[in-house]
A and B are shown apart, each in its own frame.
With several copies, the nearest count.
Chain A
Amino acid sequence: MIGINKNATQIMAEIVSNKKVGAYNHIVFAVGDIASRSKPGNFVAIAVGGSNSAMVLRRAFAIYRTFDKGSSGGLLEIVVAPHGEGSTWLTNQLPGYKVDLIAPLGTAFGIPTEPVRALLVGGGYGSAPLFGLSEVLKNRGCRVDMVLGASTAMKIYAPLDGKRSVNSLTTVTEDGTTGITGKVTDVLAEIIETNEIDIIYSCGPMGMLEAINEISSKLDVMHQCAIEESMACGIGVCMTCVLPIKGDDGQIRMLRSCIDGPVVDGESVVWDSKRSIPKGTWGAH
């Protein structure tokens, strides 16, 4: 555990651009050499509300992409859904404004050493980190299929260059405003079988990740997912973001999703443990 977040630094990062894209804001920050240290799956923690804010905690956002232009010019991009007051505040900040930002944080998606057939599944803004991942996978010679789902078309985040980086893109909306009508999980089994998928990478709401894991489990496909737990610090000091994870030794432990996650092995998560400690967890009583 020595070297926790050893790449992370805290900087005042200037907003370079902030644009509305569907239901989200695509925000670009000047972050210097943080860009070169970030990997797909890592996240940033941003202080919100300005200096007299009643909001005392940071907000976590998945890194959508980074551009490494050397130590002076690195860029980092995120996709923000205005949810509550903090994220809404962030979507309202103008270019030129500087935010207090810590990055890169957390675990990254594991990249296979061999070329594999990967399926990337994103829910809502959960698609964001998958595009950077897709690029890395393609560079390694992988085939990349992608399924994006949301309640409605406005909540599908799939920019043009992102679309180009994958071999196939399937979109699914609950209200049918774009793509297939339904949930992402409705289409997974078929794609997995047709395309002989080796590994699923997913990011989105917990309910979706759990449903994906059921399928990957049944079909015996590897599954790495980026989870989203309520976080107070993002750097491992508060213990609020824990979830029950089964270790290689079979022992369930309450691990921090900001340090041991957000990317975890879907099989290791004890799903549906919301509001309770699973029996047999280390230290439960």
Chain B
Amino acid sequence: MFDYKTSLGQAEFSNPIFTASGCAGSGRELSQFFQLSELGAVVTKSIMLKPRSGRATPRMAETPSGMLNSIGLQGPGIDIFLEKDIPWLREQGANIVVSIAGESVDDYAVLARKLRAVSGISALEVNISCPNVENRGQVFACQPNTARAAIEAVRRNIGGELPIIAKLTPDVTSIVEIAQEVVAAGADGLALINTVLGMVIDTNTMRPKLAGKTGGLSGPAIRPVAVRAIYQVHEAMPHVKILGMGGVASGRDAFELILAGASAVSVGTATFGNPNAVMKIKEELANELISHGFDSLKEAVGYAHRAEGNLL
């Protein structure tokens, strides 16, 4: 029997296909199309302390094989989220990874404290890399010291159980350096990658298309960047679990990220093009793995790193 299970830190998942944060609404929208419990996990939209309106529109632009978004972390804030969304997801039998985002180190600390007692959560994804919040200078994951501070704040406040997955931006000179820093600060795993900072100018209005000017590039266009980041980080720290993402739209694509070193794969933009994308990818990936002779997902993780000549 093929073993599709995977793990991130102490958390176990029945399969490695997750939704990507911010790309699955509250879960309810997708539950019209499939059972959420079929997923490895639902990763929630990054939740902040307070309610947030997000950015003005236009918030999106399609780009060649991708899209730009500047949602600006619209959401109800942690209290309403814990009251309304988590219980509902739990009822669905979904495996839940909660994504959190803060505007200050203290925000991260408070969010962690609010979550430590919540049952039914498998892991915490700490988004320290969203390029959409007002001040680009404030992106935690861009500097080793701020990245470290945010993760340390979560580590100190979360208690012992819940695995912490730090989500990093590829928009840095060395993603390995940032990865090492957050692992040293207590991250159990890494989520790679968040969107790439980009801009589209509307040639009709002759101004940036997005109200927020810049936005995050996602979709197949950035997959080579995701594969590179995952490969580099897995090479530097083979024992740190990676939740991979970036442009995955098929089982082949998910397989590529897994070979690079991802233990699980989140699907974002592909869901916009196809609400059933995650289910399709889950099935296709299993077929890819089996047809390549793997008995389990785990054997394939990082397989592209094996020594020359070494074949299955």
Task: Provide the bound-state CA to CA distance between A276 and B57, in Å.
Answer: 7
Task: Provide the bound-state CA to CA distance between A280 and B220, in Å.
Answer: 38
Nearest-CB residue, chain B, relative to A59 = B62
Q: Does A285 contact B (CB under 8 A)?
A: yes
| Interface-side segment among B226-234, B271-279, B283-291, B293-301 | B271-279
CB distance from B203 to the nearest CB of A (A): 12
Partner of B273, one of A1, A57, A281, A283: A57
CB contacts under 8 Å to B, within A1-22, are 1-6, 8, 10
Main secondary structure of the interface of A (DSSP, over half): loop
Mask for A254-268, Cβ within 8 A of B = 1, else 0? 100001000000000
Establish whether residues A232 and B275, one from each chain, have CB atoms under 8 Å apart when the complex forms: no
Establish whether residues A237 and B71, one from each chain, have CB atoms under 8 Å apart when the complex forms: no
| Chain A residues, CB < 8 A from B26 | 1
Interface size on B, residues (CB 8 A): 46
Establish whether residues B54 and A239, one from each chain, have CB atoms under 8 Å apart when the complex forms: yes
| Chain B residues, CB < 8 A from A229 | 57
Q: Does A235 contact B (CB under 8 A)?
A: yes
Establish whether residues B54 and A56, one from each chain, have CB atoms under 8 Å apart when the complex forms: no
CB distance from B281 to the nearest CB of A (A): 14
Q: Does B157 contact A (CB under 8 A)?
A: no
Interface size on A, residues (CB 8 A): 42
CB contacts under 8 Å to A, within B61-108, are 62, 64-67, 69, 71, 74-77, 88
Partner of A275, one of B56, B76, B273: B56
Query: What are 24 of the A-B contact pairs (CB < 8 Å)?
Result: A3-B32, A4-B28, A10-B276, A54-B220, A56-B67, A57-B67, A58-B272, A230-B60, A232-B272, A235-B29, A236-B29, A237-B25, A238-B25, A238-B71, A239-B25, A239-B71, A240-B69, A275-B56, A275-B211, A281-B53, A282-B51, A283-B51, A284-B53, A285-B53
Using a CB–CB cutoff of 8 Å, the interface residues on chain B facing chain A are: 22-26, 28-30, 32-33, 45, 50-60, 62, 64-67, 69, 71, 74-77, 88, 211, 219-220, 249, 269-276
Interface contacts beyond A10-B275, A242-B54: sample of 4 additional A-B pairs, CB < 8 Å, sorted by A: A8-B32, A235-B32, A239-B45, A242-B59
Using a CB–CB cutoff of 8 Å, the interface residues on chain A facing chain B are: 1-6, 8, 10, 47, 54-58, 100, 102, 229-230, 232-233, 235-243, 253-254, 259, 273-277, 281-285
